[in-house]
Structure 1
Amino acid sequence: MARPSKAAATVPAVSAPAPAAVPATLPEDLERWLLHLQVERRLAARSLELYRDALQRLVALSGEEGVALRQAQPHHVRGWMAALHAGGLAPRSIALILSAWRGLYRWWGQNGEVPLNPVMGLRAPKAGKPLPKALSVEQAMALAEHEGEGDDPALAARDHCIVELLYGCGLRVGELVGLDVGAGEGAAGWVDLPDATVHVMGKGSKRRSGPVGSAALAALQRWLAQRPLMAASGERALFVSRRGTRLTASQVRSRLRRQALQAGLPTSVHPHMLRHSYASHLLQSSGDLRAVQELLGHASITTTQIYTRLDFQHLAKVYDAAHPRAKKKDG
């Protein structure tokens, strides 16, 4: 990605409430539905975790009232939804939980196990739409150009390459840690150096490819020169830890926070913030929403459109600072 020259607005983070306590295990019939989602629908591991949490909440709430799940009625579900809301759960989280419940009852209905779907037609409380948190161009450049302090050359080269790929290619952290060295058999993702292209396995097991800019390519070549000093024998992962094995998402988050502090950024930085920054800065420079949608791998353009709101915030700030008609007159 060619680095843009305009600045993006930095949006304050929204903290989510802690989830309520839920039982650790599920009945066998609910486990069967999760297995169906995993095998037939091919849901990602994170999505399955969220669905499991939703089902655990359903079991807990129905158990408190002594309601058998297959006998639940709409007024039961409305009460459980109200209990979640009263417990401090955010509307967006409640909407996700309702979606999971709705899917379970739909599956039961298709199998003739329930006469109606008690969740159908119910809506979660309305929620505001917080903007994604993005770095300004100056902040993103400071982070991308920062070389690790106090690290050996291999660690510094690895962390610098991670930043360049996250910001330069808009990768999700799961896509980043899934990269292998080369396109070997079974590789989830890899970087084609001669073609300057990254290939990843995105959400829903959908593959996508994107360009890799010159800065990211240079950082990758520096890391590949250092990688043999860290990687265990036979390890295929592109990014490895000090132990020589594949780097985890949590390790990437920890190292990125450290990099941001060293670079003097005034905010905590996480991998998805760099993906937001990539999208926002591309849209500011090009104005091509469809291209940004394709590069991000969004199934719907409405998901990408949120970045137009970030772009509008940036334009509004420029207007307020520079246009003569935006300035208040004295007196």
Structure 2
Amino acid sequence: MSESVTPLPNGLQRPLERFYEYLRSEKGLSLHTQRNYKQQLETMAQHLAHLGLTEWQQVDAGWVRQLASKGMREGMKASSLATRLSSLRSFFDFLILRGEMTANPAKGVSAPRKKRPLPKNLDVDEVGQLLDVNEDDPLAVRDRAMMELMYGAGLRLAELVSVNIKDVSLSAGELRVVGKGDKERKVPFAGLAVEWVTKWLKVRASLANSDEAALFVSKLGVRISHRNVQKRMAEWGQKQAVASHISPHKLRHSFATHMLESSNNLRAVQELLGHENISTTQIYTHLDFQHLADVYDQAHPRARKKERD
């Protein structure tokens, strides 16, 4: 049940008014931030007043933790709770600056870390719907090859764009990529990814400049850009009537999800993705390449050989 709004004691209200004026005239914060700070501070001041406090000097770290706990009990998002504590820290810094307090009781209290939301993955049927592209136009062949390779090898966008022809071994089903921190790794790819990269290589010369090393090129004949890949994949999602918005990272995330669901081998997928840590609790564990290739061939939905009727 929310607390009723009552007039604040002067010892709580007047310092807030001086702080708001300070934010407007000296601090240069955006109006949005000013409004957020005011909303959070007014809410906290009301709570303190209901508990019998009459001035800010009575607030210690215990009171600050109580204000944070109250927000968590009310279901505040981590970002809103961080704003609440940030506004309180700034306000107490202001009082210290004015000589009205000697220490900031909010300094040692931190908000819980914001969870990084993972993009929703496509299910296997949606991937099949997206990749059901059978046009002969070189750009369409290139786009399907890019999508098959991104989903088939779990590549980052930057890794896909930076792949050169010399990095690809179709016969071995291996791809050399350079990931974050310039760390090189070898990843397996098979099945439909190999089939469509092969088709692309047969028509690549009709688009690529003769001295271009990149595997994937734009219609201008040079290495395709990150933005162009994002744009083309989004367009294919619409053209193929896939309900979800299609992005390169969504294909990579779908690769990870489907491989984990099929193989139950967290460490193998961690290695395939080039992650030092697949989660905050999972440390990097090296697995030999042949084992990775075996896990990949058995688990990836588009690496399996087609069953003949």
1:171-195 deviation per Cα after TM superposition (whole angstroms, max 9, x unaligned): 011000001111xxxxxxx222221
Matched, 1:143 2:124: no
Matched, 1:232 2:209: yes
Matched, 1:218 2:195: yes
Provide the residue aligned with 1:271 in structure 2: 248
Partner secondary structure for residue 168 of structure 2: strand
Matched, 1:155 2:139: yes
Provide the residue aligned with 1:107 in structure 2: none
Provide the residue aligned with 1:327 in structure 2: none
Distance in 1, Cα, partners of 2:281 & 2:140: 33
Distance 1:231 1:123, change over 3 A: farther
Distance in 2, Cα, partners of 1:122 & 1:242: 55
Amino acid at match of 1:233: S
Provide the residue aligned with 1:258 in structure 2: 235
Provide the residue aligned with 2:291 in structure 1: none
* Contact 1:169/1:278 (8 A) holds in 2: yes
Cα displacement (A) at 1:233? 2.2
Distance 1:295 1:261, change over 3 A: same
Provide the residue aligned with 1:134 in structure 2: 121
Matched, 1:176 2:153: no
Alignment TM-score, normalising by the size of structure 1: 0.53
Q: Which runs of 5+ in 2 are unaligned?
A: 1-22, 41-76, 87-106, 283-309
Cα displacement (A) at 1:200? 0.7
Cα displacement (A) at 1:145? 2.5
* Contact 1:292/1:304 (8 A) holds in 2: no
* Contact 1:197/1:212 (8 A) holds in 2: yes
Q: Which runs of 5+ in 1 are unaligned?
A: 1-60, 67-78, 99-119, 183-189, 306-331
| Partner residue of 2:186 out of 181, 185, 209 | 209
Distance in 2, Cα, partners of 1:220 & 1:146: 14
Distance in 2, Cα, partners of 1:65 & 1:213: 58
* Contact 1:298/1:304 (8 A) holds in 2: no
Partner secondary structure for residue 200 of structure 1: strand
Partner secondary structure for residue 251 of structure 1: helix
Distance in 1, Cα, partners of 2:158 & 2:170: 20
Matched, 1:286 2:263: yes
Q: Percent identity?
A: 41
Distance in 1, Cα, partners of 2:171 & 2:222: 26
* Contact 1:161/1:216 (8 A) holds in 2: yes
Matched, 1:196 2:173: yes
Distance in 2, Cα, partners of 1:285 & 1:136: 13
Partner secondary structure for residue 301 of structure 1: coil
* Contact 2:153/2:189 (8 A) holds in 1: yes
* Contact 1:177/1:249 (8 A) holds in 2: yes
Pairing of 1:235-250 with structure 2 (within 5 A): 235-250=212-227
Amino acid at match of 2:139: L
Provide the residue aligned with 1:19 in structure 2: none
Distance in 2, Cα, partners of 1:159 & 1:167: 12
Number of equivalent positions: 197
Cα displacement (A) at 1:142? 1.4
RMSD: 3.5
Amino acid at match of 2:138: A
Distance in 2, Cα, partners of 1:123 & 1:250: 37
Provide the residue aligned with 2:150 in structure 1: 166
Pairing of 1:287-326 with structure 2 (within 5 A): 287-302=264-279
Distance in 2, Cα, partners of 1:181 & 1:91: 44
Cα displacement (A) at 1:121? 6.6
